[in-house]
Structure 1
Amino acid sequence: MLDYDYPKELITPEAILAECAQLVSFNDTYSSHPLIKRFGSPEQPIYVDDGNVDINGVTYAQPLILPVYDGQMELVQCAVMQDGQRVAVIPDGLSKGFAKYGDFDHTKPVIITYGLEAFFKVAQTGYAVALVLLPTLCNAKQAELKPFDFEQIQFVIQQLETSGFDRLYMPVRPEDIQLEAFQNLEKSTAVRLLNQYQQIKGNEFFIELSQHESKEEITAFIDEAIEQLNKPTEWGELLPLAQSETSVTSTYPIHALPPLARDAVIAIAEHVQAPIAMTAQCVIGAMSHIAQAHVNAPHPFSSQGEPCSLYLLTEGQSGSRKSTSRNMADKAIIQHERKQYELYRRDLEHWKSGQAGLNKKDKEAYGTENPPPHDPSTLYSDITLESIAGLYVDGILNNASIASDEAGQFFGGYTMKGDTRTQAIGGYAKLFDDGFVERTRSKSNLNGSGRAYDVRLTFNLQGQHEVLSDALKDPVLRGQGFLPRFILTTPENLAGTRLQDAIYRSKNANHDHRLIAYWTRCEYLLDDCPRSQGGQELHNGRYVIPMNDEAREIDASFYNMFEELQGKGKRYEYLQAFASRASQLARRLATVFAYFEGLQWIDAKTLTGACEVVKHSLNEWAMYADIEVKTESDAERLIKWFTKYCANKKIDKLAYSSFMNNCPRPMRGSKQRLEPVLHELIDSNHLKIEELSKVRYISINPLLTKKSGLMA
């Protein structure tokens, strides 16, 4: 029996599998296992724990253990599964890959499934099959997929895609009410949908990927469906290309967050029914608020480092649960602030009673010897730069956060308008970069001029698109470097999907072990103020969390990549102010992650995760019209190039690999950038994909070459 009371770093997937029994299909124990009886048999060896396993307070009795692999086919985790229980993934709690059966060959199809029964059945066919490890796989009734489930499916597809698997297929039911979501996956990734309703050789039938179907029927369905999908089709009418102002959307990389924080992000999203990206930003905002008081980020030219404070910005529609998400993420901070405020109120009353009855002269003397206590509040929802600068200069405040779901009020307020805007932008920029703030007043002003060093500010702003769009495209806010300091996300709108059944209503966030663990960690960091583990030098009460050698190499590569991408004609030519800060933001975010986890060093895993979040943010910034200047859309540029290419070469098709390696930037050499544009051109009947002798070709609609008169 496995024991998960050991430290998590000792729980390796290899060690877990070594403790399990491996069963084969002709074994009685194999065929009587509850999951095999209910979902069928893959007819492949399985791993079973022969005892009870306790994970986060949940007991799994003789569970099935599925190895979890990443896109490089390396064993990274194990999934613990029992009939009727939520799937548990160890270590870390969130799947970093997929389960699999079969030979994963880059030249052969891979079938992607999101149900256990379909996974086992396809495994019998000999096709390579991957299973997306959704928490509800073992439910008695297959639940409707949630937005995060589709994010997990997309994550697995992109893992395989990045590793060079381009023949990816997913069976779907045509009457599925979520078919549109699957079609969006097909448009944004390399996956192709296999329609389970088929018309083959004059016969129409619906195929169920269940244990009751024969493997011969399933094999015939997949063979025929893939063949039909890759058959050349008649060209349809040329449709106009959409004049899209957005770049390719990307999934928020919550896999990059520390495990406790990541679990909290998912839990908040479930309880609040808010987008994952929104809850992730809220949790990162809370971690930044806590970390900025105690640690600095490493800086390439300063041994004292730089602030690790983050500026975060989230776009969300009205009613998207912005406030609720942030309040749940900040719960431990809010409770800590309340305790501190109660102590302040008590001290203030004591101070007032001490000067009661004194004359004016004695009151002044008393006040000099006994300064009044200061309000300890550090969370603000609506405060001007002038006000917060005064608190810093007067020594009342060293660390603060401006957290608001009314970002429109911030960007549209007096401070960010008119004559005061330039001064405010410069002030917030200095706070971000150096932790420095300055107040300039006339000599007659009661609160005179002054400066404050080593102070910190975190921004966690949320707002509606209608309010934010003008501000986010403002050339002054962009050009002077204020907006480029923000990590941005623009989550999907979940309105219309947030239905509440009896199971949902029975849940209580205050009893969710994932949130309890996260809040407990926040409370520890707020109350105990842990110091450096390696004896690092303190700088005004803070120490630098350094990068190890591997992280430094990643930092250098990340910097160089984004420096190159700012060149003429490159991806971020018109986002230079944003791209040039990518490395700095990644180091800061990695510092926040490392402090939350209690790490002595920023390691390769932590920095890589932070880089993924920053890359997501840059992609989101690129989505805003007029930020990345385009004279034509990627689809227009691609079809214009290919039409001319075909004319010059006197051809009507080109091998996929040659197409990708010769097409215009930023799609050249990047399948992730090319595929969505390619799908747009296929959907509008400009191009199609054909497979001849197992080689994929891109064919051009002859109407294009005929219309342009470029080919004889």
Structure 2
Amino acid sequence: MALQLAALLQPSGLTEKLAPEPLETSIDLVPPYPLAVLPPLLREAAEGIADFVQGPPALAGHTVLGAAACLAQSRVDSWSHVSRQMPCSLFSLALGSTGSAKSSTHRLAFLPIEQAEKQRLTLAGDQAVGANGLVTGDASFSRVTSMLVEGCASLFWTTAEGGQLLKGHSLQADNAVAVLGAITRLWDDGGLERIRSKSNADASGIVFNRRLSLSLMVQEITIRDVLRDPVMRGQGFLARFLFCAPDNLLGTRTLSLERLSRKAEDDLRIAHYWERLEELMLTPEAVDPQRLGEVAAPALIPTSDAKKLWLEFYNANELKLGRFGDHEPVAEFAIRAPQQALRLATVLAFFEGKSQVDEEAMYAAVCLAEHSTQEWHRYTVATFDPALEAARDISDWLVAKVRAGEEKWLEFTGRQWLQCGYGRYRTARKRDQAFRLLLERKHLLETPDGYRLNPLLLENSAEGGGEGI
């Protein structure tokens, strides 16, 4: 195959030297992550972690928030204007491209929590079920829900490889709707119903007041795929995630002798943050052993000023949801923003040891919730361009055909395409719209009789392990 590709790539004219452009929508500039509104310890920790791992500060901010939520959810609840009380659990999703230091960021943000969890499991054995648990790396929704039914009151599931979770077996099977429904209910009120067949009754039952938070880091292709998944969106599963997509720092992360000698524990910003996590872990969890391990946490009530600020945000957000409003394209995400703000405010107030949610915590939470809505807007609008989606599909299809030995697709006519091209895009209307983009982005080159696939796509595909541009 390598020899065949080499032959195909022999230049036959200047057009072959044109570099194909990515088939992506131009995404708006990244809105600045509101790191400055975080409590000083969290803000400085995020800055210190980002500096040490040379990763995006937004990713570090997102991750330390997750660590704070991990400890908060089994100790306090959020106030709710509807049900008066709800979990403060957070679902967070962060874009972490190759080289974004997502694993290193997570390791430093959760280090004291992971160390405590390892010690707990060592003392109690591998089958230990405790009031609070940390699930890292590879797992499944089925196993996590089983742990909650078996008696674990609170779980925090975090992974730097979130694509494996969102595209895993549980969400590809026929019961994906049921699985997502169960997870969203856990976020809503902590309830879980898991009924298995008599032959498979393991971990069956109905439980209440459990807590589950998710902290996922994924690559851009995963975000694109899940946003196009009607089940993911229709269930309101994605809408419950706080989202951030920071800039890629590749090309800026130079090293020095001084940097090579650094240790994370020597950075006081990180050390003080770790000390605060350890202090919070020593506070008792609000778990009632008489009620099958249910979380019975007090709600942190907002002060009068905090409620006024939240009401302003709620009403302004509601007006943007209407027809022609700023949030109309992402209404399913934006409608959750006021609820997210209440949860975030609770987590921030808990981290600082406050007995109420004050105006300062609410202001920070509102900024974070609004930032997430802006990020969802950027990626949702960019993802759903039918013409670009068709062009990507056709380009990938042509490259795959030529690499499989069907060299007729290296150069072909419009008539050939209509007769035996990619079935989804054979009609003249769909073909013309996509081909116009493919010509503009130099994936196709015009010939006197029709079209020629840009051979540089084959070269890029061969070098990239089969992924085109």
Q: TM-score, normalised by structure 2?
A: 0.72
For 1:555 and 1:528, locate their aligned partners in 2 and report how far apart those are by CA, in whole Å: 29
- Decide which of 109, 129, 139 is 1:329's aligned counterpart: 109
Q: Sequence identity of aligned pairs in percent? A: 33
- Cα offset, 1:378, TM superposition: 2.5
* Match in the other structure for 2:138: 382
Q: Secondary structure at the match of 1:251?
A: coil
Contact 1:382 1:402 in 2 (8 A): no
Summarize the alignment of residues 139-538 of structure 1 with structure 2, pairs less than 5 Å apart.
Answer: 244-303=25-84, 305-345=85-125, 374=129, 377-395=133-151, 397-447=152-202, 449-529=204-284
Length, aligned pairs only? 357
Asked whether 1:613 is paired with 2:393, we answer no
1:596 aligns with 2:355: no
Larger helix fraction of residues = 2
Q: 1:521 to 1:448 in 2, by over 3 A?
A: closer
Give me the whole-angstrom Cα distance separating, in 1, the residues matched to 2:135 and 2:236: 24
Structure 1 residue 502 displacement after superposition: 2.6
User: 2-side partners of 1:426 and 1:491: how far apart?
Assistant: 29
Q: Output one character per residue of 1:481-526: Cα deviation in whole Å (capped at 9) or x when no partner.
A: 1111001011111111000123322322111111111101101111
Displacement, 1:420? 1.9
User: In structure 1, what is the Cα distance between the partners aligned to 2:191 and 2:51?
Assistant: 39
Q: Aligned partner of 1:605: which letter?
A: E
CA–CA separation in structure 1 for the residues paired with 2:336 and 2:252: 36
Identify the residue that residue 574 of structure 1 maps to in structure 2: 329
Post-superposition Cα deviations, 1:501-555, rounded to whole Å, max 9, x if no partner, equal 2332232211111111110110111123388xxxxxxx94311001000110111
Does the C-alpha gap of structure 1 residues 243 and 329 become closer, same or farther in structure 2, counting only changes over 3 Å? Answer: closer
Q: One-letter code of the match for 1:378?
A: L
**Stretches of structure 2 lacking an aligned partner (at least 5 in a row):** 1-22, 287-293, 388-469
Give a deviation string over 1:227-267, Cα, whole Å, max 9, x none. Answer: xxxxxxxxxxxxxxx99553453111011211111110000
Flag the structure with larger Rg. Answer: 1
* CA distance 1:411–1:544, shift in 2 (3 Å): same
CA contact (8 A) 1:317 1:493 kept: yes
The structure with more strand, counted as a fraction of residues: 1
Query: Equivalent residue for 2:442?
Result: none
Cα distance in 2 for residues equivalent to 1:317 and 1:243: 16
Give the distance between the partners of 1:469 and 1:515, measured in 2 at CA.
34
Pairwise CA distance, 1:342: 2.0
Distance in 2, matches of 1:426 and 1:504, equals 47
Match of 1:585 among 340, 344, 354: 340
Greater Cα shift, 515-524 or 374-383:
374-383
What is residue 10 of structure 1 aligned with on the other side?
Answer: none
Q: Deviations over 1:313-353 (max 9, x none)?
A: 011112221111001000110111122112113xx8xxxxx
**Distance in 1 between residues matched to 2:69 and 2:255, nearest whole Å:** 32
8 Å contact kept, 2:30–2:246: no
Relative distance call for 1:418 and 1:568 in structure 2 (3 A) is same
Partners of 1:563 and 1:252 in 2: CA distance: 22
Aligned to 2:315: 560
Distance 1:298 1:313, change over 3 A: same
AA in 2 matched with 1:523: E
- Cα deviation code 1:278-337 (max 9, x no counterpart): 11111011011000010001011334x100000000111122211110010001101111
Farther-moved stretch of structure 1 (470-479 vs 247-256): 470-479
The separation in 1 between residues aligned to 2:360 and 2:231, in whole angstroms, is: 36
- Displacement, 1:618? 0.8
Contact 1:437 1:453 survives alignment (8 Å)? yes
Show CA shifts across 1:194-235 (max 9, x none). xxxxxxxxxxxxxxxxxxxxxxxxxxxxxxxxxxxxxxxxxx
- In 1, are the aligned partners of 2:224 and 2:383 still within 8 Å (CA)? no
**1:488 alignment partner, SS class:** strand
Preserved CA contact (<8 Å) 1:407 1:468: no
Other-structure match for 1:706: none
- Any unmatched runs of 5+ in structure 1? 1-241, 349-371, 532-538, 633-712
Give the counterpart letter for 2:137 in structure 1.
Answer: S
Query: How big is the shift at 1:628?
Result: 8.7
TM-score w.r.t. length of structure 1:
0.48
Query: 1:448, CA displacement in angstroms?
Result: 5.9
Contact 2:30 2:247 in 1 (8 A): no
1:621 and 1:627 in contact (8 A); partners too: no
- Where 1:499 maps in the other structure, the secondary structure is coil
Q: CA RMSD in A?
A: 2.3
